Structure 1
Amino acid sequence: MAVPESPDPVASATSPDTARPAALARWLWFVAWLIVAIVVVGGITRLTESGLSITEWKPVTGAISPLNEAQWQAEFEAYQQIGEYRHITGPAGMTLADYKFIYFWEWAHRLIGRIIGLAFALPLAWFWIRGAIPSGYKPRLVALLALGGLQGAFGWFMVRSGLSEEVTDVSHFWLSIHLLTALLTLGAVVWTALDFGRLARIPDARAPRFGRLAWLVGSIVFVQLLLGAWVAGLDAGHASDTWPLMQGRLVPEFDMSRGFWWALTHDPFLIHFLHRWWAWVAVAALIVLARKVRPFERRASVAIHAAFGTQIVLGIATVWTGVSLWVATAHQFVGALLVVATAWGLHIVGRRR
């Protein structure tokens, strides 16, 4: 979540009559909750194996789903050419009705992405024309727009990685890039919304710093999110349905035959193990952050504690339920809320510095 150099406090707004930081803050909070929504729907898409159901990227015309049986059949036939159908869903007896179910989730995921693009680009243009953007923030808002576009491109690269006849799933590397870009965008949007909210209250406020504590906490949480994305991409949640032990032992057996680095990035048992125990490193870092924040904003401290506490409980429940769809979806939802709470806490620490 890079932030611009602290603007001159005298030049924090383009004009007292035109700058609208409060309106900008409300707009960005709306966009942030849309991003949370797309992360949740993306999780459902992954958990229902729906991500490869649409085999083409049509940024405009793809917003309309098939309207008649002939169009549905054409989409289904395109899906039947890929490895997922040939080796998994086809032999399992997938029908057109089954296909329509997975198509819906991928289509909904892409539709929300289009809505987010419009919800960001159109108000940005309006605020820009009206001169409502405080000095120093235009480059950041343009960067956020570009990051959103990049997110869409990463999503397509992820889908494309699973469309050949030889593979049956998307690359977990592309899945992690796609998800982490969404969460990075979420954190950056929240940080900027908080900037504008503060400018609305304190017109000469300087931008908070992203200091050493922010880098430390951010890096630890990033690793946990990365491991979680790899768990999702490799279906590693199914590596164990027990907690705290895996395979009846604390450290499970994993494949080292191709070297440690391959195991670290590909073995589902090792990645699942690391994700469940690195979580406690993240908890420790977030407790430190919450304690730093508490004297200045108790609500943010409570939000951080509530987010990571709920996330831990949902993570264990996901394991115990054998990756139940709605428990795992709730786990991803609270993960997005944890990013929001962390950005809030780091923003407060950055102000106080």
Structure 2
Amino acid sequence: MRIVPMNERKRAGIVYPSCLLANGPISSRRECPPAGRGLVLHGQVMQINSINEDGRMTDAASTTEIQVRQAMERSGRNRRSIRIWLGVVLVTLFCLVLVGGATRLTGSGLSITEWKPIHGVIPPLSAEEWQEEFALYQRIPQYQQINKGMTVDEFKSIFWWEWAHRLLARSIGVIFALPLLYFWLTGKVERRLRWPLVGLLALGGFQGFIGWWMVSSGLSKLTSVSQYRLATHLVIACLIFAACMWIMRGLSPHSGDAPPTATSRRWAGMLAFLALFQIYLGALVAGLDAGLAYNTWPLMDGAVVPSDLFIQQPWWINLFENPKTVQYVHRLGAYLLLAVALWHMIQSLRAAPQTTHSRRSVVLFALIMIQAAIGITTLLLQVPFDAALAHQGGALIVLGFAIAHWRGFYGEYAPETAVVLRR
């Protein structure tokens, strides 16, 4: 019989007496249950009162140890399956955010003027259907004020972006819901994660409504969607992404390294929050086309602080509706995020350079540096499609890694597989 090492037992979260681990004398009589006591494994009592007077296991106890090990392996397989599924969800969400960014950058977000959750899966298939769809688009201000004279073929080029975005969003619902149902019915989802995952599914459904709420803001008076609604839509997508990353990371093996300092976990959490807040500011920049307000760096038209940041009244409205102010605040947010990441990295490396936490802090700082470089390039080149899309994708990568880094300080979820002595 194989002796299960202590580190394996700790990593699996399983606690059971050492007399079940070796076919030999026990080290302490207190570790072995007397007659009339048993083991509880997944809620089932397994009697092991067949232990010899000399402390050696009988066949019954040996069988119990095998069942314990099988339960450990089964729990590991279940977690691996859940991680793979959540990984697929994360990749799909990343693609969805990129397609959403491309839809915005190409001005395609208002090309479909109706919300048809079921029927909208099928695009126009005939010339007549295309003409009907185009006629609906011709009624909104964006066509009348910006795209007047557009042909049906030109309309198709923007229609397909929005259609692909909506189709991918629907696909994520299926990718999330069906495996969740399967894992739930087969008992592979741990109890602690069931309702959080259901909550994420519900939030995803609500996100579909938010998407239409955003689109509807540009169908009557505006020629583009509201920057407030755009920011709400993007932040909810990022929250779903972050939650999936958090859960997947919690189901992954951890090194067990202690945090480099007493405040390391708080700094990591602050970085995750700042990354999300910076994405919110970036959404305001995108919604107002504020990336075109100033195309110089590091100064803004020769000044550290431009003079026209607070020309609107009341003054605080500039933070949300003045393109120049919004870009300025987004720049400040980037500097703050970079400074906090640098401090966190230096603090971690000084305290415990060999830990995985410290190594992750270096990677996170490098990712933020790369993202800042992409942002500056996008600004100087006056927001070209490729650079702007890379900047949006980079923001999600930074957020995802920041969440994974933060979650690493909490360790792996304690498995629900357990063996407990019972009278």
TM-score, normalised by the number of residues in structure 1: 0.88
- The corresponding residue for 2:408 is 348
Alignment of 1:48-67 (within 5 A): 48-67=106-125
Q: 1:125 to 1:17 in 2, by over 3 A?
A: farther
Aligned match of 1:172 in 227, 230, 243?
227
Q: 1:305 to 1:256 in 2, by over 3 A?
A: same
Q: 1:154 to 1:290 in 2, by over 3 A?
A: farther
8 Å CA contact retained: 1:18, 1:132: no
- The corresponding residue for 1:140 is 196
8 Å CA contact retained: 2:275, 2:395: no
Please, which moves more after superposition, 235-244 or 118-127?
235-244
Q: Which amino acid aligns with 2:248?
A: A
8 Å CA contact retained: 1:50, 1:106: yes
Q: CA deviation at 1:40?
A: 0.8
8 Å CA contact retained: 1:18, 1:131: no
Deviations 1:109-162 (A, max 9, x none): 111111111110000000001000123110111111112112211111100111
Q: Provide the secondary structure at the position in 2 that maps to 1:244.
A: coil
How far apart are the structure 1 equivalents of 2:41 and 2:183? 16
Q: 1:284 to 1:349 in 2, by over 3 A?
A: farther
How far apart are the structure 2 equivalents of 1:321 and 1:13? 60
How far apart are the structure 1 equivalents of 2:344 and 2:139? 50
8 Å CA contact retained: 1:220, 1:285: no
> Is it true that 1:73 corresponds to 2:128 in the alignment?
no
Q: Which amino acid aligns with 1:105?
A: W
Runs of 5+ consecutive residues of structure 1 not aligned to the other structure: 1-8, 203-209
Alignment of 1:289-300 (within 5 A): 289-290=344-345, 292=348, 295-297=354-356, 300=360
> Is it true that 1:195 corresponds to 2:250 in the alignment?
yes
Q: CA deviation at 1:176?
A: 0.3
Aligned match of 2:335 in 280, 287, 302?
280
Please, which moves more after superposition, 61-70 or 174-183?
61-70
Q: CA deviation at 1:236?
A: 0.4
Alignment of 1:212-223 (within 5 A): 212-223=266-277
Q: CA deviation at 1:13?
A: 7.7
How far apart are the structure 2 equivalents of 1:149 and 1:105? 21
Aligned match of 1:338 in 398, 402, 411?
398
8 Å CA contact retained: 2:275, 2:398: no
Q: 1:290 to 1:152 in 2, by over 3 A?
A: farther
Deviations 1:46-84 (A, max 9, x none): 111110000111112211211111111111110111111
Q: CA deviation at 1:290?
A: 4.3
Question: In proportion to residue count, which structure has more helix?
Answer: 1
Please, which moves more after superposition, 67-76 or 277-286?
277-286
8 Å CA contact retained: 2:238, 2:276: no
Q: Provide the secondary structure at the position in 2 that maps to 1:198.
A: coil
Alignment of 1:1-353 (within 5 A): 19=75, 20-90=78-148, 93-164=149-220, 166-198=221-253, 212-252=266-306, 253-290=308-345, 292=348, 295-297=354-356, 300-351=360-411
Q: Which amino acid aligns with 2:177?
A: A
Greater Cα radius of gyration, structure 1 or 2: 2
Q: 1:55 to 1:270 in 2, by over 3 A?
A: same
Q: CA deviation at 1:167?
A: 1.5
Q: 1:44 to 1:16 in 2, by over 3 A?
A: same
8 Å CA contact retained: 1:254, 1:263: yes
Q: Which amino acid aligns with 2:202?
A: A
Q: Which amino acid aligns with 2:86?
A: L
8 Å CA contact retained: 2:276, 2:399: no
Q: Which amino acid aligns with 1:321?
A: L
TM-score, normalised by the number of residues in structure 2: 0.74
Q: 1:277 to 1:56 in 2, by over 3 A?
A: same
Question: What percentage of residue pairs aligned between the two structures are identical?
Answer: 38
Q: CA deviation at 1:255?
A: 4.5
How far apart are the structure 1 equivalents of 2:184 and 2:345? 36
State the superposition RMSD in angstroms. Answer: 2.5
